[in-house]
Amino acid sequence: MSETARQRLREWGAETAVVLGSGLSALVENKDAEDRIAYAEFAELPRPTVPGHAGEFVLRELNGKRILFAQGRVHLYEGQPARAVAAGIRVLAEAGIARVILTNAAGNANPDFAPRTWMMIRDHLNLTGASPLLGTPEFVDLTDAYSAAWRNTFVQAARTIGLILHEGIYAGLPGPQYETPAEVRMLRVLGADAIGMSTVLETIQARALGLEVAGFSCLTNWAAGLSGEHLRHDEVLAAGKASAEDFARLLAAAL
């Protein structure tokens, strides 16, 4: 079963994949079932257990280009090891993908960025205490983890469509609890502009496989202590869904 599904991904012939984070599945909703391949078809892929992560590959064309969307991901906080968290990236690479766009829903730690806007990831802080490369002698240079050339393409695309696109540092933590106000202040001192529970392990795996990477955070809410609001996952999902259309416009303009 796994090999048949893998062959379908290969035959689609996409060079670009997009991994959709919490609430961002709206980009590919209400489409034909024939264009979907469940993660369950791949023996090595763990199934997401979190609302907002459907767990399937979606085959789509965008501006005449074939794209592979990975609708959802698994996280460390679901009890998965780092290598399993990045398994989807390995499947995409085997399918012939040359570059991957990683998206996530994140808490906004930068007071100059407004919630419900998008931040392009310039660099990251891996504070998960894990790596998908553990157990291997892979010494991967992450100086340019997020492609500078590709970032420039997205900057120009955002200007063309009049979309506010911030650029900053993403801090990846294991979760599942949200950060305390004290932890958010610490992360700001370390340079974090956005805080989330995904993406960094996928970036490490993608760069180890030679894939070009771009990363985007949907700033769904203020991080703890920056407003009087308490954090709830259902509100994160709603904010991500509301912002999905803006990201779809950005993708279309850039690709």
For the annotated catalytic residues, the residue numbers are 22, 53, 75, 77-78, 105, 197-198, 221, 233
- How is residue 147 written in tokens? 């492609």
What burial letters (b/e) apply to 49-67, b meaning 16+ CB within 10 Å? ebebbbbbbbbbebeeeeb
Q: What's the CA gap between 190 and 168, in Å, rounded?
A: 12
Q: Give the pair of three-digit tokens for residue 201.
A: 């392990």
* Per-residue tokens: 60: 């789509």
**What value does the CA radius of gyration of the chain take, rounded to a whole number of Å?**
17
> d(Cα 200, Cα 232) in Å, to the nearest integer?
22
- Cis preceding-peptide flag for 176 (omega within 30 of 0): yes
Q: Which residues, 6+ apart, have CB-to-CB distance to 66 below 8 Å? A: 12, 13, 14, 15, 59, 60
Q: DSSP secondary-structure letter at 126?
A: E
List the one residue out of 135, 149, 125 whose CA is nearest residue 200: 125
CA distance 239 to 221: 8
